[in-house]
Amino acid sequence: MNVVFLIAIPLLAAFISILIKKYASYLLVAVGLFNIAVLIFSKNGIVFIGGFDTTISANLLGITLLLDTYTRIALWVVNVLILVIAVLNIKTYRDYGSILLLAMAGLNGLLLTNDLFNLFVFLEISGIAAYLLSTSNKKPVSTFRYLLYGAIGSSLFLFGVVILYSMYGTLNMVVMIREISASNNYTEVILPFILMFIGLGVEAKLLPFNAWVKGVLGNSNVLSGPMIAGVYMAAMSFVLGRLVTNLFVFEGTLLTVVTLILVLGIVVGDLMAFSSSKVREILLFSSIAQSSIIILLFVNGLTIWAVYLIVANALSKTVMFLVINKATAETENDEVDSLKGLFVHNNIVGLTFTLAALSVMGLPLLVGFVIKLNYLTALAGAGQITLIAVILLASLIEGIYLVRLLVKLWYKGEKDLRVEYHFSFKMVFIAIALSLLVFGNYSTPLNELDNSIDTVSEVVNNG
Amino acid sequence: MIQYASIFLFVLGLYGLFINKNVIKLIVSLNVMEIGLFIFIISIGYVGDNAIAPIISNTQDLGLIYVDPLPQALVLTAIVIGVGTTALALAIAKSIYNTYQTFDLDEMEESA
Amino acid sequence: MASIEFLILFLVGAGIIAYLLTKLNTIVGSIFTIFTVMFVFVSLAQYGFGMDIITTVKILPGISFSQSYLGFYFAILIVFIYLMVSFFHPYFIDKYKYKDSYNLLFLLSLAGILGAFYTNNFLNLFFFFEIIIWTTMFLIPQGKSKEAAVSYFGFSLAGSVSLLLGVFVIFNSTGTFNINDSLALLSGNSAVLVFALFLIAAFAKLGAFPLHIWLPITHGNAPDPFSPVLSGALVKLGGFIAVLALIKITPATVMFRAMDIPIGHYLVAILGGLTIVFGTLMAIKEDDAKKLLAYSSMSHGGYILVAFSILNSMAFAGGFYHILAHALASAGAFMAIAAVSRVTGTTKIKELGGMIHKMPITYLAYLIAIISMAGIPPMGGFISKWLIFQAVIDKGMVFVGVAVFFGSVGSFLYVFRPLAALFLGQEFTEYKHVKEAPILMLIPTFVLMGLNIYTGVFPAAFLKVINNIIVELGYTGITYTTYVISGNNGVLNPALISLVFVVGILIAFIIFILLKKSRKVELMDTYTAGNFIHDEHLFHYSTDFYAPLERLYEKQSHWMTTFYRALAEKVKELGKLGKYLFMSKSLSVTLLWIISIIIFLLWGEVL
C-alpha cells in the first residue's frame, strides 16, 4: 500500500472528525489501526507524488517520500504509541480525537517526507497539534510560551531551508545532499545548518532552546505527558537524527559548538533533574538529558544505537509519565514527598515503573543497559573518551536522583496514598516493561540491524 | 535591497519578541518576524526588473529571464501556516485573558 | 561437573521459585533459599579448588567465563558468607515490607557475584557489578532508613562509572575487553589513567577514605541479616578491583627508590593508612553497634589497600588472608548483633546491656569475632595482620607502619565497647523475656566461630590457596610449612601460640573449677549506700568510655559527612543555576542564547 495514506487518511479523518465530534475517538482508533495495516503492507522505497519525472536529478519536481527501515521504525513507534495513548484516554479526553489525528498526520509526514519545505509544513502541523494537546493542561500561559518557541523555531528552520534553496536551487533532500557534497564549500552552509539545527532543536528539547518544556511537561496530564515526552520527542529525534546523519555537515567550529550544546544538555539536564523536587520536573529534565544523548549519538554517526535509544526512551518515558500523571491528577500535587508510598498499594504499577526507570538509568537485565553499553563501546572505538566521561558522569547523577525517587515512591510517607489505575493502563505498563526486560536479556535481534537502516546516503549515491 | 528590508523586518520582529511582555504584542512581533521571512523567500525568486512570469505563451521569450516560481508557492504555504499559528495564538491569548484578566505575562508570573 | 553458566542460571531460576514460595510462605521460601545457596557453595567447593569448573557458555549471549584462583578465592568466600547469612532469613524476613522479593533479590545478587568473579571480559564484569548493585540496592531500604539505599547506590554507581570509564580507556588503547590481555597490553599514559580510575572504583566499593561515608550509613541501616553480607562480602568487590589495579596494571610512574615501590602505589598505601586511622577514630566514637562495625570494616579495608599496594608476595598473602579473616570476623560480629537486634529491636549500645545472660552463645560468637578483628591470636585476623606488618616493616614505610599499628591498637579500644556495654554489664528490665537465638541461627554462628579460630591456628590450608593466587599473579609464593610461616623479620608459629592460649585457658578453667563457686544473685539482691534498692535503675554505665579521646577530634569527625552533604548541595545549586539560565520563563533568555550561538559561529567562519 502507498505510504501517502499514512499522511492523507489521518488528515482527512481529522477534518471529518470535526463534523462527527461524537465519534471522533472511535475514528481515531480506526485510523490508528489502518495506519498500522498500511505499515505492515507497504514496501520500502521512494514514493513520487504528482506524476513528475522519477529520476532523482537536479531538476527534480514534486515532493518525494522516503520509506526505509529507519523511517519504518520511527513510524511504528509513533503510530503505535499514539494508538495506545488514544485508547487509554478514550473516555477522559474525548474532545482531543481530532487533534490526535492531526498530530498523527503531521508526525507521519514529518518522518516520511524527503522534501525540506514539506518538512517545515509538517513541523508546523504537528506543532499546532502539540500546542493544542498542551491546552489540556489548562495552563494557557505555558501553552502560549510553547507556541512562541515553536513558531520561532520553525521560522528559523524555514530560514535555513530557504537559504539552502537559494544556494542549491532544490528542496529535495537527496538532491541537496549531492549538491552540497559536489560544491564542497563548508563555510557557506554553516548559517543554514545552525539555523535548521536550532529550529528542530526547539522541538527536540535540546538545551538552550527548550525553556517551554518546563511549563508544558511540568503540568502535563495523562494525555499530554506521554504524547509530548514520548511520541513527539521520539519523532523529533528521528527527524533531527536523519538530518544530522545525512544533510548536515558538522565540521570545525560548527562541530565543536554543536557538541558543546549537546554535552551541556546532557550535564545540565541531569543537574536540573537532581535539583528538582517535583516528580514531573525530574522526569522532564531527565528526558532533556536523554534527547541530548540521542542527538550526540547521531552526530557521532551511531545511527542504530541512537534509534534504539529513542525507542527505549519513548517507551519508558511513556510508562513513567502515565504513572506519575495519573497519580498527580488525583493528589493534585506533584512534589515527590506528597507521592510517597504511591506503589505500596500498586505493586504491579510500581514494578513496571521501576523497570522503566532502571532501563533509563541503563542498569543490566533491561534494554537500556544493552543500548548504553553498545553506544559507549562504539564511542570508545572512535576515541571519544571525553564524551564517554561526560555521559557517565551524567548517568551517575541520573542514577542517584532516580533511585531517590524510586525509594520514596515505594515506601510510605505519613499518609496512605491510594491511586486507582485502570486495567487497560496496567496492561500497557506490563507490555512495555516486559518488552524492556525481554530485549534487555535477549539482545540478539538488536544486533541484526546496523547503521545501514538509514538509506538516504545509499539513495544519494545510487539514485 | 529587498533582502536587507527582509532582514530588517526579521530582526525587528526578533527584537519585539525580545522586549515585549504583552501577549498580543508578542503575537504581532511574531508576525513581523514571519513577514520578514516571507519577503526573504520572495526575494530569492526575484531576479531583476526584466524578468517575466513563468507562463508559457506564444510570444517569443528567448533571452528573457523567468522569475523562479517555487518561492512564490512556498511563501503562499508559509503565509497560510503563519495565519493558522496566529489564529491559534490569538485563541490562546483569549483564553489567557479569560483566566487572568490581563495580557501582561509578568503579571501572571506566579500562576504559570 | 558444575558449569558456571549453569550455576548462574540455577540461581536466577531458584530466585524466581524462591519469590513464589516466599509469597506463599516466608519460612518455606527462606529455607529454599538456604538450600539453593548451599547447593551453589557445595558445587563451587567441590570443583573450584581444582579449577575444574566448566566455563563454556551455551545460552547466555555475549558472556564468556574463565577461571582463575583469584576469582575463585573471592567467589567461594562470598558465597560462603551468603550461605551463612541465609540461615538468618527465616527469622527476619517477616519484618520487611516487601518480603516476597527479598529472597529473589538476594539470590540474584549472588548470581551477579558468581558472574563477576568468573568472567574474563570487562564489559561482563561491569554487567555483573551493576546487577549486584541494583539488586542489593533494593534490599537495603527494607531496613531502617530509606536514604541509606540512595547513599549506597550513589557511591557504588560512582565506583562502577569510574570502572567503566577505565574499561573504555583500556579498550581505546588496546582494542580488547579481555581482562588479562588488555591489562597486559596497557602502557604509558593510559595505564596511569586506568590505574587512577580503577582505584576510584576500588575505593568507592571498599569504602576507603575519602569515599567512605556510605559505609556507616548503609551498614548501619541495612536489614540486620544483610549488613554481614555488605561488610563481609560486597565490600570485598572493591578488594578485587584493587587487586586488578594495583597488581595487574603497572603504570610507569616514578619509583620510590628507598622503598622500592612506585609512587602511585605509595599514595594508595598512604590513603589506606588514612583509611585505617579515620575508620578507627570514627568507630571509637560510634554509639550504634552496627555503625561501629561498619567503621571497623572501613579500617580493615584500609589494611587490604595497604597490603596490595606493597608489591611483594608477603604483603599479598597478608592482603588475601585479611580479606578472608575480616569476612569471617565481620560476618560473625554483624550476625551476633543481628541476633541481638532480632530480639531487642535496637542496635544502639546505650539501649542495651547484659545480653550475655540471655544469649551466651551469641556473646561467644561476638567475642571470638572481635578478637579476630583486633588481630589478637589465636584468630585469623592475627595471621593476616602479622603478614601485613612484616611487609610494611620490610619496606620501611614509616607513616603506613604507624597507621597499621594504630589501627590494631585502636581496634582493641572500639570492638570492646559493644562487648562491654551490650553483652556485659547490667541487664535491662525490658529484655528480661528474650531468649537465645533459635537453633537454625546458631548453626552459622558456630561455623563462623570455628572458622575464626581455625584460620588462626592452622593457616597453612588457606595459605596454599593464597599461594596459588600469588603465583598466578606472577610473584613467588611465600614460604610456610604446616605449622610455621616465615617472614623476613622472623617466623610465626600460629599453632604454638594457640597451644599457649589453650594451656592458659585450661589453667584458668582448672582454677575456676577448684576455687569456690560464685553465687548467682538477682539484680535486686544487693544494696547501695547502705540502702536496699527497690527498682531496677541502671547502675552500670558502660558508654562514653573514651570521652576525653573523642573530644580531641569531636569537631573534625563530621568533616567528610559535611563535605559530601555540601557537595550534594552544590550539585543541586548547579542544577538551580541551570534552571535559571536555561529554563527561565522569559523568552528573551532563550533568544539571547540562540543569537549568541549564531553570532559566535559566524564570527570566525563567515563574518
**Measuring CA to CA, which residue among C67, C63, C65 is closest to residue C47?**
C67
**Does the pLDDT value for residue A325 go beyond 90?**
no
Are C448 and C544 within one domain?
yes
Among A125-139, A291-305, C123-137, C171-185, the least confident range: C171-185
Cβ contact C172–A369 (<8 Å): no
Query: Given this model, what pLDDT does residue B112 score?
Result: 44
Are C231 and C123 within one domain?
no
Per the listing, cell 505510504 goes with A3
The CA distance from C444 to C84, in Å, is 5
Determine, yes or no, domain membership for C106: yes
**Does the pLDDT value for residue B17 go beyond 80?**
yes
Query: Given this model, what pLDDT does residue B103 score?
Result: 83
Cβ contact C154–A275 (<8 Å): no
Which residues 110-139 of chain A have a CB within 8 Å of chain B? 117, 120-121, 124, 127-128, 131-132, 135, 139
**Does the pLDDT value for residue C168 go beyond 70?**
yes
The band of C95, judged by pLDDT with boundaries at 50, 70 and 90, is confident
Query: Given this model, what pLDDT does residue B109 score?
Result: 59
Higher per-residue pLDDT: A55 or C455: C455
Determine, yes or no, domain membership for C224: yes
Are C524 and C575 within one domain?
no
Nearest to A148 among B26, B84, B108 (CB): B26
Average pLDDT over residues A67-75: 88
The CA distance from A382 to A370, in Å, is 18
Other C-beta atoms closer than 10 Å to the C-beta of B65 total 13
Domain ranges (residues) in chain B = 2-111
The CA distance from B90 to B107, in Å, is 18
Range of the domain at C580: 556-605
Residue type, position B4, single letter: Y
All three cell numbers of C424: 556485659
CB A455 within 8 A of CB A72: no
Q: Does C585 touch chain B (CB under 8 A)?
A: yes
Determine, yes or no, domain membership for C79: yes
Determine, yes or no, domain membership for C356: yes
**Across all residues in chain A, what is the average pLDDT?**
86
Are C313 and C423 within one domain?
yes
Q: What is the pLDDT of residues A8-49, one digit of tens each?
A: 888 898 888 888 888 888 888 888 899 888 888 888 888 887
Cβ contact B19–C588 (<8 Å): yes
Q: Does A386 touch chain C (CB under 8 A)?
A: no
Q: What is the pLDDT of residues B94-103, one digit of tens each?
A: 988 888 888 8
Determine, yes or no, domain membership for C148: no
Per DSSP, the residues of C575-587 read: HHHHHHHHS-S-H
The CA distance from C481 to A96, in Å, is 83
Q: Does B12 touch chain A (CB under 8 A)?
A: no
**Does the pLDDT value for residue C604 go beyond 70?**
no
Query: Given this model, what pLDDT does residue A157 score?
Result: 92
Are C220 and C296 within one domain?
yes
Q: What is the pLDDT of residues B56-81, one digit of tens each?
A: 666 665 566 677 778 888 889 999 99
Q: What is the pLDDT of residues A141-175, one digit of tens each?
A: 888 889 989 999 999 999 999 888 888 888 888 88
Number of domains composing chain C:
3
Query: Given this model, what pLDDT does residue A235 score?
Result: 92
Are C63 and C211 within one domain?
no
**C60-84 burial code (b ≥16 CB/10 A, e <16):** eeebbbbbbbbbbbbbbbbbbbbbb
Q: Does B32 touch chain A (CB under 8 A)?
A: no
**Does the pLDDT value for residue C1 go beyond 70?**
no
CB C383 within 8 A of CB C455: yes
Task: Kindly list the partner chains of chain C, i.e. chains with 3 or more CB atom pairs below 8 Å.
Answer: A, B
Are C8 and C123 within one domain?
yes
The CA distance from C161 to C157, in Å, is 6
Query: Given this model, what pLDDT does residue A224 score?
Result: 86
The CA distance from C319 to C236, in Å, is 11
Query: Given this model, what pLDDT does residue C578 score?
Result: 86
**Does the pLDDT value for residue A198 go beyond 70?**
yes
The Cα angle at residue C344 between residues C342 and C346, in degrees rounded to 5 = 90
Query: Given this model, what pLDDT does residue B56 score?
Result: 65
**Does the pLDDT value for residue A435 go beyond 50?**
yes
**Measuring CA to CA, which residue among C2, C133, C127 is closest to residue C62?**
C127
User: Which chain B residues are Cβ-neighbours of A132 within 8 angstroms?
Assistant: 88
Last residue of a domain, one of C143, C178, C211: C143
Contacts of C137 (CB under 8 A, 6+ apart): A403, C149, C152, C153, C156
pTM of the full structure: 0.90
Q: What is the pLDDT of residues A246-255, one digit of tens each?
A: 888 888 788 8
Q: Does C595 touch chain B (CB under 8 A)?
A: yes
Query: Given this model, what pLDDT does residue B57 score?
Result: 63
Higher per-residue pLDDT: C3 or A462: C3
Which pairing describes strands C490-492 and C485-487: parallel, antiparallel, or unpaired? antiparallel
| Helices C313-344, C380-395: crossing angle, 10 deg rounding | 140
ipTM score: 0.90
Determine, yes or no, domain membership for C93: yes
Topology annotation, domain B2-111: Helix Hairpins (1.10.287)
Mutate to test the interface with A, among B12, B27, B85 (most CBs of A within 10 A): B85
Are C254 and C237 within one domain?
yes
The band of B88, judged by pLDDT with boundaries at 50, 70 and 90, is very high
Q: What is the pLDDT of residues C326-376, one digit of tens each?
A: 888 888 888 888 888 888 877 777 777 777 777 888 888 888 888 888 888
Contacts of C84 (CB under 8 A, 6+ apart): C228, C331, C335, C444, C447, C448
Q: What is the pLDDT of residues C500-554, one digit of tens each?
A: 888 998 999 898 888 877 777 776 777 777 777 777 666 666 666 777 777 888 7
User: Which chain C residues are Cβ-neighbours of B109 within 8 angstroms?
Assistant: 585
DSSP 8-state symbol, C519: P
